[in-house]
Chains A and B, each alone.
Chain A
Amino acid sequence: MTAIDFSQKTVEMINVVKKFGDFVANDGINLTVHKGEVHALLGENGAGKTTLVNCLYGLYHPTAGTIRINGRELNVTDPNVAIQNGIGMVHQHFMLVEPFTVTQNIILGRETTKLMGILDLSAAEKKVAEISERYGLAINPRDKIEDISVGSQQRVEILKALYRGAEILILDEPTAVLTPPEIQELVMIIRNLTQEGKSIIIITHKLHEIKQVADYCTIIRRGKYIDTVEVDTVTEQELASMMVGREVSFAVEKKPQKRGPKILTIDNLVVEDNRGIQALKGLSLELHKGEILGVAGVDGNGQSELIEALTGLRTVRSGKILLHNKEITGALPKQIIDGYNIRTIPEDRQKRGLVLEFDVAENLVLETYHKKPFSWRGVLNHPEIYQYADDSAKEFDIRPANPYLTAKSLSGGNQQKVIIAREVGNDPEVLIASQPTRGLDVGAIEYVHAALVEQRDRGKAVLLVSFELDEVINVSDRIAVIFEGKIVGTMAAEGVDENEIGLMMAGGTS
């Protein structure tokens, strides 16, 4: 089934070193890819995977080391050189001009023109349609980027590379933004491309995807080359240990539950989304002390609106929210945080969780800066704030442990640790965690899950909302399935039938 031609090495990176000042991002990394091979680059967030491929694509210049393309040594000074040598890259954050059409984006920089630089868009559209058909990448050349799905946008990015004649395709975390069906589609596309003799380098930290799609896998840990393995000969467990450098447990360790009294009641809640359409249509839910209640469901069934209603960010049309049998519906966010001590790990850590331009210490006191000892009569007490941040960084293992760094400069996992340190550090009555492990690697996921379980074991209530069914099942004590703005079923997590939940999530009846 594989299409590898071992006689042709398309990419050889030998002993590549990349330093940023004193920081060594890549420390002697080797990578060999053959024609028709899918090669995965595996490593934790911040391990240096993206740096390595940026060297290959000419966005960075390696400090030392050799790059050979098709056996010929090449000095990749900028992306133009890479493109000319058949290297294409799909960036993690798409490089697409939103108001442009698919065709315009694909031809940008290599436009088809008539006389005097006048664009010939109809010729370009024909050509784009041709390539899209040849590789089975379905798109409409005339659609605008802002109107098409994320999956389609990714296909446009791949087409952009193919249009430039790419033989070697780099995909930087291609599945991070995709829905499960879109991921399956991408897998098919990758297989098609290797059949056509393309080499694919795929960056990821999702192990099951590597098992599914890659032939070989190179593991990088903290900038260092660990090993290159044939994927079929190793287990996911082994890959995870190589990546993190220690044994990783996929199972969440939990003590037996000591379920306490009811603390939070949501009764018949109706909430509208931004377009004024009902997103929650009479949702009811009960949360007890000492339990993790997992809300399982497919994205877009009212999860975001539920969290926003609970945190006071969205108006409740009707229904009640009760804390200790006292109504708190319509409370302001500040009241909910300060007065009721309900804390949230938000869905989008970069938009709502952190002020990216602030440093770690400032982010840690975002909810408490106005209280003693952090301020006195309106004046901030910086020594106290930074002392507190130092302590938190140690306690919550935030790396690097420097409270003066901006939140922006931390890896995703460490950003999440800052948020957890802030929310959990305030000893909440109820902790709401929305998609708390999105985009994190296994090591960081393990950490987040342990933090949630610790809250539960201390007798606190945790509401977990996640699109990852595995996560909900592994972490929760009880599972509530949300579908089209309503809870369609509640059950104990232990011994639950995954298929049954899957069916309920899709709106089927069990």
Chain B
Amino acid sequence: MEAIINDIGFIIGTTLMYSTPLMFTSLGGVITERSGVVNIGLEGMMFFGAFVAATVAYYTQNPWLGFLCAGLGGAFLGLLHAIACVSFAAEQIVSGIAINFLGPGLALFLSRLFFDGATQTLTIPNKIPLPLHFLFGEGKLFKSAGFMDLVFNRFATVYLAFLLVLLVWFVLYKTKVGMRVQAVGEHPEAADTLGISVYRIRYGAVIMSGFFAGLGGASMSIAVVSRFSNTLISGHGFIALAAMIFGKWKPQGAMLACLLFGGAKGFEIFLGAKGVPVSSSLLAMLPYILTIIVLVGIVGKTTPPAAIGKIFDKSGK
């Protein structure tokens, strides 16, 4: 009996761990798309963030500094996306695709530079800490490898991700800035006639989305694992994008969708660990197949922000 409970704990725990990178990135997606700018470059931003986090954490031995710098790295790519899409009215999908090439390209180039020609970083000395260990000491609060320990004794990034969901929800729905972001995403001309700068809001939102995607990458490379490699992100950014859409462009919805996709990953790892005689390659496809099934299932039931993907151009006046 206890074995079964612990198995469930294991699945929940891995679900939380793997949902976290998705949640950060997905929240980034919510912010930018609610302001009306499509950002399919989340994948590239996440990839770059994962690299920056591991590199900084390796050289400074400080995972938190790596975490922050990953955000800044993502924000830098976000800035490029904003310059292209907001100032120069570039097609947002095309710019996003460019970011998806640029992020990994930049990461691998720098990786070869810093790590002796390798396309992966060395193992970092200190991962993001486990706050329960930090606060109460190892094995003090919950029995090691027991249900509670498996579920709650998780990296700080896991807790941060859930806090961030709350924060984004609050800012979006309860503050002046959030209302303006929504207005700009629904009807930029209306916001403009009321003296709100559509450009400024969109710049802010796109840069923030890059920051969050960078954090998502970091929570992969310096928490879930302890190094960056070029196959680490492999589509997580796109799954986060899908989660954002499945979550109906809402932070709370995106969170639930990420937990669902993370759950598929957790289940996959559980089956792998139990030695179920199914090819691991097939198991690894589980989250992606789930993405397709879920997205097909919800077609036609969601309403994206009205001005999404549309170029706002004041210069014609």
Contact = CB atoms under 8 A, between A and B. Distances in A.
Contact of B174 (A78, A109, A119): A119
Interface string A278-318: 00000000000000000000000000000000000000000
B306 A98 contact: yes
Contacts of A454: none
Contact of A79 (B186, B193, B306): B193
A108 B317 contact: no
Nearest to B189: A95
Interface stretch (B20-28, B177-185, B285-293): B177-185
B176 interface: yes
Given A59-B317, A78-B195, A100-B183, A108 B177 contact: no
B225 to A, nearest CB: 38
A108 B174 contact: no
Nearest to B192: A79
B310 interface: no
Most buried by A among B183, B190, B192: B190
Given A111-B179, A119-B176, A97 B187 contact: yes
A109 B182 CA distance: 12
B27 to A, nearest CB: 19
Main secondary structure of the interface of B (DSSP, over half): helix
Contacts of B192: 79
A109 B194 contact: yes
Given A91-B193, A109-B195, A118-B174, A100 B186 contact: yes
Given A97-B182, A100-B182, A109 B175 contact: no
Interface string B157-193: 0000000000000000011110110110011011111
Contact of A80 (B177, B189, B195): B195
A149 to B, nearest CB: 19
B269 interface: no
B183 A79 contact: no
Chain A: number of interface residues, binned into ranges: 20 to 34
A495 interface: no
B196 A108 contact: yes
A59 B190 CA distance: 12
Given A108-B179, A108-B180, A111-B179, A96 B193 contact: no
Contacts of A363: none
A340 interface: no
Interface string B191-233: 1111110000000000000000000000000000000000000
Contacts of A100: 179, 182-183, 186
A170 to B, nearest CB: 12
Nearest to B178: A119
Q: Which of A98, A105, A117 has the most CB of B within 10 A?
A: A117
A110 B193 CA distance: 12
A117 B175 contact: yes
A53 interface: no
Contacts of A95: 187, 189-190, 193-194
A108 B179 CA distance: 8
Interface string B249-270: 0000000000000000000000
A104 interface: yes
Nearest to A104: B179
Residue in B183, B189, B192, B194 with the greatest tally of chain A CB atoms within 10 Å: B194
A83 interface: yes
Nearest to A116: B175
B190 A108 contact: yes
A98 B193 contact: no
A252 B187 CA distance: 42
A92 to B, nearest CB: 12
A60 B314 CA distance: 11
A111 B317 CA distance: 27
Contacts of B186: 97-100
Contact of B194 (A60, A98, A108, A118): A108
A55 to B, nearest CB: 11
Nearest to A105: B190
Interface string A112-124: 0100111100000
A109 B191 contact: yes
A431 interface: no
Residue of A80, A91, A104, A109 with most chain B CB atoms under a 10 A cut-off: A109
A89 interface: yes
Given A98-B306, A111-B176, A118-B174, A83 B190 contact: no
A19 B189 CA distance: 22
A83 B174 contact: no
Could you say which of A59, A60, A95, A110 has the most chain B C-beta atoms within 10 Å of its C-beta? A95
A9 to B, nearest CB: 25
Contacts of A104: 179
B195 A97 contact: no
Contacts of B190: 95-97, 105, 108
A116 B176 CA distance: 9
B195 A98 contact: no
Interface string B7-20: 00000000000000
Given A79-B195, A80-B195, A109-B194, A98 B176 contact: no
B191 to A, nearest CB: 7
B111 to A, nearest CB: 40
Contacts of B183: 97, 100, 108
Contacts of B177: 117
Interface in B284-317: 306, 317
A105 B317 CA distance: 24
Nearest to B305: A99
Contacts of B175: 113, 116-119
Interface string A73-104: 00000111001000001010001111110001
Closest 7 CB pairs of A and B: A109-B194, A95-B190, A80-B195, A117-B176, A111-B176, A97-B186, A97-B187
Given A59-B193, A60-B317, A119-B175, 4 more contacts: A79-B195, A95-B189, A105-B190, A108-B196
22 contacts: A59-B317, A79-B192, A80-B195, A83-B195, A91-B193, A95-B190, A95-B193, A97-B183, A98-B306, A104-B179, A108-B180, A108-B191, A108-B196, A109-B196, A111-B176, A111-B179, A113-B175, A116-B175, A117-B176, A117-B177, A118-B174, A119-B179
